[in-house]
């Protein structure tokens, strides 16, 4: 079996950069890496992503939103994650079910029992071996996003247009999720305001230890 690692964080926390660095590191070690993201990652998932991110879809209900994220996830798990893990690859996913718990559960304050059931259904109970959470002050994250948007490196989407209180609930929610996880050691919580190099070293320290423990068992 391979290794399943997910990256989580509020907007602008630098997940993309860290995924790129970890991919490069793993590949120099001779690992086969599959990087993917949510929503998206498959042909169907990318079509769903388009609907979810379209800024014109202002009438989208919270219920429709959660079902669309879940549909994209269900497709990703079956079409990509499970087959790649079965081939022994390292699968790196930019966001996973924890994003739904944080954004739709804590952010939109939807019913948690329902979200958990839906999460189990969409993922078939497939849990990450490691969740890397990049923790960042909300103001700093939004400022980072605004800079990326102003320089044309990123296009703002429907979820980028929410108010600051929403993101604060999401950030607090992530901390709560880590505390309540049945395996809290699965979480690696890092300060995303640290230099990029420092963060990638912390990520590598944990991932290389995990790889060794997988090989030796
Ligand atoms: P994306 O452009 O991928 O942003 P980021 O670089 O921050 O990951 O947009 C994903 C957005 O969708 C982001 O604002 C978080 C949100 N989201 C949810 O609200 N629920 C979910 O289940 C997922 C996967 C993402």
Candidates 99, 108, 132, 141: which one to mutate for ligand 1, based on the most atoms within 8 Å of Cβ? 99
What is the tens place of the pLDDT at every residue in 23-45? 999 999 999 999 999 999 999 99
Residue nearest to atom 7 of ligand 1 (CA): 11
- Contact between 38 and 69 under an 8 Å Cβ cutoff? The reply is yes
What is the model's pTM? 0.95
Candidates 9, 37, 39, 65: which one to mutate for ligand 1, based on the most atoms within 8 Å of Cβ? 39
pLDDT on residue 216 = 60
Q: How much is the average pLDDT of 182-203? A: 97
% the chain with pLDDT above 90? 88
- Contact between 134 and 8 under an 8 Å Cβ cutoff? The reply is yes
Candidates 6, 7, 11, 68: which one to mutate for ligand 1, based on the most atoms within 8 Å of Cβ? 11
pLDDT on residue 163 = 87
Residue 12 belongs to domain spanning: 3-216
Can you tell me which atom of ligand 1 is nearest the CA of 12?
A: 7
Which residues fall within 8 angstroms of residue 2, CB to CB, at 6 or more apart?
84, 85, 86, 87, 88, 89, 90, 91
191-200 own/partner pairs: CB under 8 Å, 24+ apart: 191/135, 191/136, 192/9, 192/13, 192/14, 192/134, 192/135, 192/136, 192/141, 193/136, 193/137, 193/140, 196/14, 196/17, 196/18, 196/21, 199/14, 199/18, 199/134, 200/18, 200/21, 200/22, 200/25
pLDDT on residue 11 = 87
Q: How much is the average pLDDT of 128-142? A: 95
Residue nearest to atom 22 of ligand 1 (CA): 100
pLDDT on residue 217 = 56
Residue 75 sits in a domain whose CATH number is 3.40.50.300
Q: Which of 119-123, 131-135, 158-162 has the lowest mean pLDDT?
A: 158-162
What is the tens place of the pLDDT at every residue in 60-118? 999 999 999 999 999 999 999 999 999 999 999 999 999 999 999 999 999 999 999 99
Pocket of ligand 1 (CB under 6 A): 11, 38-39, 69, 94-95, 99-100, 103-104, 157, 159
The total number of structural domains in the chain stands at 1
């Amino acid at each position: 079996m391979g290794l399943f690692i997910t990256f989580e964080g509020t907007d602008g926390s630098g997940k993309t950069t860290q995924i790129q660095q970890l991919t490069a590191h793993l590949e120099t070690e001779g690992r086969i890496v599959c990087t993917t993201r949510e929503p998206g990652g498959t042909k169907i998932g990318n079509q769903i992503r388009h609907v979810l991110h379209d800024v014109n879809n202002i009438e989208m209900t919270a219920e429709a939103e959660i079902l669309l994220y879940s549909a994209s996830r269900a497709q990703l798990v079956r079409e990509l994650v499970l087959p790649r893990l079965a081939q022994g690859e390292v699968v790196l996913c930019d966001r996973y079910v924890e994003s739904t718990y944080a954004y739709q559960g804590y952010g939109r304050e939807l019913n948690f029992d329902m979200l958990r059931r839906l999460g189990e259904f969409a993922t078939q109970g497939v849990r990450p071996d490691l969740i890397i959470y990049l923790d960042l002050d909300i103001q700093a994250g939004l400022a980072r996003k605004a800079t990326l948007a102003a320089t044309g490196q990123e296009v703002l989407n429907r979820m980028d247009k929410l108010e600051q209180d929403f993101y604060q609930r999401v950030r607090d929610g992530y901390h709560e999720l880590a505390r309540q996880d049945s395996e809290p050691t699965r979480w690696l919580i890092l300060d995303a305001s640290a230099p990029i190099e420092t963060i990638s070293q912390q990520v590598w320290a944990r991932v290389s230890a995990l790889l060794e423990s997988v090989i030796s068992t």
